Amino acid sequence: MNALDRFFTRWWLANRASLAVLLKRNAAAIDSYRQIVALDPGDANARAALGNLLMEAGDAAGAIAEFMRIVETNPRNAEAWFNLGYIYEQRDDLANAERCFREAIALKPSIDRAWYGLGLVLIRAQRLTEAVEVLKKNTELQPFSPYGWYQLGMTYHHLGESAKAARICEELRKFEPRYAATLKRDMERTPPVAAPARDAATTPSIDRKEAVPSTH
C-alpha cells in the first residue's frame, strides 16, 4: 500500500469508527480502531480510543494492553498512565493503580483526575492522612467539582477530625448545596473508622461505595 492509499484508508476507517461511536455500535468501532492501529501502530490517539472502548466492553485486560503499548512507545504520555491507573483501580489492583496515577501526576501535575484517582486508591488502602493531602491538590485544581470536596470531607470524618469535615461541608455548600447535603447525611450515618491516635493496622475497612456519592 502506497502512502496515498494508506492516508485514505486511515481517513475512511477513522470516519467509520467515529460514526460507530456516535451510533453506540461499540463492536464496530473497536473493529475499525483495530484496523487503524494495525495500519499505523504508532497512532496513540487511535490506540487510546480502542483502549477506552475495550474497557467499556468489559475487556480490561485488552484495554491495559493498548495503554501499555502507548506508554512503552512514549513513557511521557500522562493521559495513558492515568487511564492505566483508572483501569487498575477498577480491577482492585491498588498497587498498580497507585503507581500509574503517580506516573501521570509526575508527568503532568495539572491532571486533576489523576489526583482524584490517587486519593481514592489511598482511601481504599486505609492511608487516610496521605489521602487528605492528595485530595487537597485535587480541589485546588478543580475547585468547583464536588467529588474531591466530598471525598476530602469524608476522609476528615473518618480520621475523626470533625471540625475540618464540617468546614469542608460548608465550603461545598457554597456552590453545590445538594452534594453538601449528601456529605452531611453520609457523615451522620457513618461512624468514623479511625480516631486520630489509631494506626492503619487496626483501622476497619471503608466501604468502596463511598467513592461515588449518591445524591438521592
CA distance 9 to 97: 36
Q: What is the pLDDT of residue 194?
A: 60
Write down the pLDDT at residue 2.
72
Cα 75 to Cα 53: distance, rounded to the nearest angstrom: 22
Q: How many residues does the chain have?
A: 216
**pLDDT the model gives residue 51:** 97
Question: Distance (Å, rounded) from C-alpha 61 to C-alpha 34?
Answer: 15
- Count up the domains in the chain and report the number: 1
Let me know if residue 42 belongs to a domain.
Answer: no
Distance of CA 189 to the CA centre of its chain: 26
Whether 34 is in a domain gets the answer no
This prediction's pTM: 0.85
Q: Is residue 43 part of a domain?
A: no
Q: 187: domain range?
A: 143-192
Cβ neighbour number for residue 51 with a 10 Å cutoff: 26
CB contact at 8 A, 66 and 50: yes
- Specify the DSSP class assigned to residue 196: T
User: Is 162 inside any structural domain?
Assistant: yes
Select from 178, 177, 186 the least CA-distant residue to 152. 186
Q: Is residue 213 part of a domain?
A: no
- Helix H, strand E, coil C: the string for 27-92 is HHHHHHHHHHHHHCCCCHHHHHHHHHHHHHCCCHHHHHHHHHHHHHHCCCCHHHHHHHHHHHHHCC
Residue at 183 is within a domain: yes
CB atoms near residue 185 (< 10 Å): 13
Within a domain: 153: yes
Show the cell assigned to 205.
Answer: 475497612
pLDDT averaged per 10 residues in sequence order, the chain, 216 residues: 78 89 93 94 96 96 98 98 98 98 98 98 97 98 97 97 97 96 95 55 38 40
What is the Cα–Cα distance from 90 to 14, expressed in whole angstroms?
A: 29
